[in-house]
Amino acid sequence: MTKAFPSIARRLKSTGIKLLKMGTFLITRFIASWKRYFLGDTVDVRPSPSPSPSPSFDNARPSLAGPVLTLGGGGPDVDDAIQWMINQVRGGSNSGTRVNVVVLRTNGNHDYNRLIYAMKGVNSVETLLIRNREEANKAEIYEKVRNADVIFFAGGDQCQYIRNWKDTKLEAAVKSVYLKGGGIGGTSAGAMIQSDCVYDACASSEKGIETRDALDDPYRDITFTYNFFNWSNLKGTIVDTHFDRRQRMGRIMAFIARQIKDGVSNSVLGIAVSESTSVLVDKNGLVKVMGRGDAYFVLGNHIPEVCEPRKPLTFSNYKIWKVRSGDTFNLRNRPTSGYYLRSVKRGRIDSNPY
């Protein structure tokens, strides 16, 4: 009988080790299901109020000084634009308020954390990699995003953002930050998803549709998403990025023509942002351009002459405002002068649109 005890002990020890390994494996799998990177004091320093039940964002009483938006054109970020957004939400550059920032992306790393944490008035920064709809519907992620004061969408693939985040708890949480007067920023795809109409790139190749193909056939492999983020100051807009470098004027012209031809809107304003450039939108709809390049505001406000599948686009008299860095544009009260006209005839722009 006494000889059996060591054998039993060994078996118990072996079983315990197996259970411990299994528990560790399950915990590791749970943690690995979504990634988070944190830098700062604590995310939940000042929990946010619950969103207003009103369907109108403008009827909510914000606890912060926004809402404000930043739309980055891709390439190197405009750090001063992110700082502007933070200062606007805080109530000014000299405000004692410190904000919590959440960076959202579907892949990548935490390279924004140290950049943003070093900015004035930042209490914490957390990067969340939300890679699928299951993760976008996690209660913990919903709370982390809802309790932020500033959200920043990293660049990436707008189709992945839409497929993984649209109509999820994550989307609702981002909207609640806007509702309470927070800041919503983004660059490249992270800026494009914020417009009223989003070129989602879900039907095109990884490279996406560029100007020549879009003008030759405004319908081939070009799809759009609606009702993602309905920011009040971006109603009737479509945002495009990497603008000057990739010569995308004809592309945004085709996108605008499609919205009018398809009956989405009678008038569409394209907001086109060059690389290393940001468009800043304050709570009153006043835009300021910041960075190395220019922004273009492209208005189509009549039925295109020809906008059909497998036919080159013909659309006359787009109004284009070129807004240089440091200058302004009013989205709520658009200027009645200062623009130039360009037309597309049989898929070709009549003269240099830049």
Q: What is the pLDDT of residue 204?
A: 76
Q: What is the pLDDT of residue 10?
A: 56
Query: pTM for the complete prediction?
Result: 0.83
H or E element, residue 249: helix 249-261
Give me the count of residues in the chain.
354
Q: What is the pLDDT of residue 185?
A: 98
Q: Which residues contact 53 (CB under 8 A, 6 or more apart)?
A: none
For the beta carbon of residue 5, count every other beta carbon within 10 angstroms: 9
For the beta carbon of residue 324, count every other beta carbon within 10 angstroms: 10
Residues 322 and 324: their CA atoms lie apart, in Å, by 6
Residues 295 and 288: their CA atoms lie apart, in Å, by 10
Q: What is the mean pLDDT of each run of 10 residues along the chain (354 residues)?
A: 50 52 44 56 43 43 82 96 97 92 94 95 96 96 97 95 97 97 97 97 79 96 95 97 94 98 97 98 97 97 97 98 98 96 97 96
Residues 184 and 202: their CA atoms lie apart, in Å, by 23
The SS3 assignment for 253 reads helix
Q: What is the pLDDT of residue 32?
A: 44
Map out the domains of the chain as residue ranges. Answer: 68-349
What is the 8-class DSSP label of residue 47?
A: P
Q: What is the pLDDT of residue 34?
A: 54
150, 183 Cβ separation under 8 angstroms: yes
What is the 8-class DSSP label of residue 67?
A: -
The per-residue DSSP string of 190-217 comes to HHHTTSSEEE--SSS-TT---HHHHHH-
295, 244 Cβ separation under 8 angstroms: no
Tens digits of per-residue pLDDT, 126-162? Answer: 999 999 999 999 999 999 999 999 999 999 999 999 9
Q: Hey, what are 302's tokens?
A: 């009549």
Q: Domain 68-349 falls in which CATH fold?
A: Rossmann fold (3.40.50)
